[in-house]
Chains A and B, each alone.
Chain A
Amino acid sequence: MSDTVLQKIEMPSGEPASGKATPAATPFIEVEKLNLHYGAAHALKDISLGMKERVVTAFIGPSGCGKSTLLRCLNRMNDLIDGVRIGGSMRIGGHDIYAKDVDVIELRKRVGMVFQKSNPFPKSIYDNVAYGLRIQGMKSGGELDAAVEQSLQSAALWDEVKDRLHTSALGLSGGQQQRLCIARAIAVKPEIILMDEPASALDPIATSRIEDLILELKKDFTIVIVTHNMQQAARISDDTAFFYLGELIEFASTKKIFTNPTNKRTEDYVTGRFG
């Protein structure tokens, strides 16, 4: 799935250039000395980390620590905000996504996103899922029908909506809307799915369904998830990065972060002593 548009070029073997400790294996997403200024505020400070392919990486940390901002750098959603300046580099499959010749539209097709507040379009369920394919020029017909069904199946929503595909998406429950947004994102066959606190507005049952779904999706997609919920990070992620005040404090396997963190602040946070 990762050899669609940007061919993967040779990856640096072993440790990436960044000084920060990185979980072993070759990173698919490499962030190096990333600095982000928003007006006068220095929101991300010298962030370096590498995320592996088909793995769930969780970003945790207290509000305002920069985790969502970093996530939004990965599909260049921050481009939409006036006054944001970004330094350093961010590579996906070896390609600098902030290089001058990068087609942001193409990047966003490969790096999908699910937002904190579910944002289905005020269209039918079918049209929501078909949206990304239609804008790429796919015409209505069997191929589109099949893609919509498959995406809804993958998002574990098909059985609940198959009889009302052409009714409004806004009639779905909160959890269903969020799974619809996931279906919508995977319909365009991205390689990476960014999730910005996707379950923070959902009840525990809907949350657990989303978590099950994430574990299922990780077989096909690289997932980066921002979460406020420590148990959630522990349950679903393979690697965890802890941010505090715009800095990456610690990045390691989730097991290590939650059982044997190196940094005192990480330990205080994951054990609930602050945050």
Chain B
Amino acid sequence: MNSPALSSRHFRATKFDFGSFFFTGLTGLATLCILGILAVILFNIVAAGLPAISWRFISTIPKKDFFEPATTGVLPMILGTSIRVIVMTLFVIPIGVITAIYLTEYAPNLSPVTRVIRAAVNNLAGVPSIVFGLFGVGFFINFIGQGMDRALGHESVVWGQPALLWASLTLAVMTLPVVIVATEESLKAIPMGLREGSLALGATKLQTILRVVLPQALPGIMTGGILAISRAAGEVAPILLTGVAYYMADLPTKLSDQFMDLGYHVFVLSTQSPDIEKTRPITFATVLVLLVLTFALNFVAIIIRARVRKKLRALG
């Protein structure tokens, strides 16, 4: 089959592939831009914030004048932000996972009800965060909190005011879509054959979900948790009206206490200070602490996920 036309062909490029060259360059440039912006932000924060960081800064409960760089500290804010993120996680993971299980394992796929729920979840993700704050005031504080006070017969207001619990719950509602979507994706990725194998052995649907499906979905669920933590740690708007305090002399001890928060404190330092220039180093230092705390919370979750994955693979 050695036709002359074929054998006379050669493989040398005859013309320059401009489109390919241009597009490769474009994608590289875009990536470089993002990396550049990230580097500038991080460099700025570290350069301006690091000098003000000290053990005293991290471990001090500040006096009323927390604008004074020499004496102030951020311990209450570190605690406040950590606790609200952890409490939020305790609520959002179970509720989100159970919702995702309903949607993927139980809800009839084509029914209008399922479609409405899915649309609602997706729309929830698009709601501005301040709206969640307003929702938190209306629903958690005024409705549930005041209702609890009435039901428990409290003389003074205990639950019907901004509190750590309400701020955490508001954040949980805000991050619910993230957890639901991540869990749904990981449930859908589990082969139907595994479910059938379990059911064919006489397992109930619940047994199948608890013993075969959920253990496999655990890493995916934890990814949802990690995303939720990342999103929630730096949010200020939802907690503005539902729990954060401008200043508290004492650390919060109960879920009905208000709390100080790193993100909100950054806002306070940069807008309420009598001498912005003087306060600047501790503003940046507070931002740096917030970043490190967010990374640390994520890091813990990532470590746990890695261990779960390893265990799944070993047993697996």
Find out whether the CB atom of A112 lies under 8 angstroms from the CB atom of B316: no
Find out whether the CB atom of A188 lies under 8 angstroms from the CB atom of B315: no
Find out whether the CB atom of B109 lies under 8 angstroms from the CB atom of A82: yes
Main secondary structure of the interface of B (DSSP, over half): helix
Find out whether the CB atom of B216 lies under 8 angstroms from the CB atom of A115: no
Residues of A within 8 A of B116 (CB): none
User: Is there a chain A Cβ closer than 8 Å to B108's Cβ?
Assistant: yes
* Contact string against A for B residues 202-236, beta-carbon threshold 8 Å, 1 for contact and 0 otherwise: 11100100011001100000000000000000000
A103 → chain B, closest Cβ, in Å? 10
Residues of A within 8 A of B196 (CB): 77, 80, 113, 115, 119
User: Is there a chain A Cβ closer than 8 Å to B201's Cβ?
Assistant: yes
* Contact string against B for A residues 88-121, beta-carbon threshold 8 Å, 1 for contact and 0 otherwise: 0000000000000000011011001101010111
Known A82-B109, A82-B110, A135-B207: A119·B202 in contact at CB below 8 Å:
no
- In Å, the complex CA distance between A115 and B108 comes to 25
Contact of B211 among A77, A135, A185, A188 (CB under 8 A): A135
Find out whether the CB atom of A112 lies under 8 angstroms from the CB atom of B193: no
User: Is there a chain B Cβ closer than 8 Å to A37's Cβ?
Assistant: no
- In Å, the complex CA distance between A265 and B10 comes to 55
Contact of A119 among B197, B215, B316 (CB under 8 A): B197
User: Is there a chain B Cβ closer than 8 Å to A150's Cβ?
Assistant: no
Find out whether the CB atom of A122 lies under 8 angstroms from the CB atom of B312: yes
- In Å, the complex CA distance between A184 and B315 comes to 17
Residues of B within 8 A of A136 (CB): 202
User: Is there a chain A Cβ closer than 8 Å to B314's Cβ?
Assistant: yes
Find out whether the CB atom of B194 lies under 8 angstroms from the CB atom of A184: no
User: Is there a chain A Cβ closer than 8 Å to B199's Cβ?
Assistant: yes
Residues of B within 8 A of A185 (CB): 200-201
Find out whether the CB atom of A181 lies under 8 angstroms from the CB atom of B202: no
CB under 8 Å from chain A, chain B span 105-141: 108-110
Known A80-B196, A119-B193, A181-B197: A105·B315 in contact at CB below 8 Å:
no
B218 → chain A, closest Cβ, in Å? 11
Find out whether the CB atom of B316 lies under 8 angstroms from the CB atom of A132: no
User: Is there a chain A Cβ closer than 8 Å to B279's Cβ?
Assistant: no
A interface residues with partner B (beta carbon < 8 Å):
75, 77, 80, 82, 105-106, 108-109, 112-113, 115, 117, 119-124, 127, 131-132, 135-136, 168, 170, 181, 184-185, 188
Selected A-B contacts with CB under 8 Å, 20 pairs: A77-B199, A105-B202, A108-B200, A112-B200, A112-B201, A115-B197, A119-B194, A119-B196, A121-B194, A122-B215, A127-B315, A132-B201, A132-B202, A135-B202, A135-B204, A135-B207, A168-B313, A184-B201, A188-B201, A188-B202
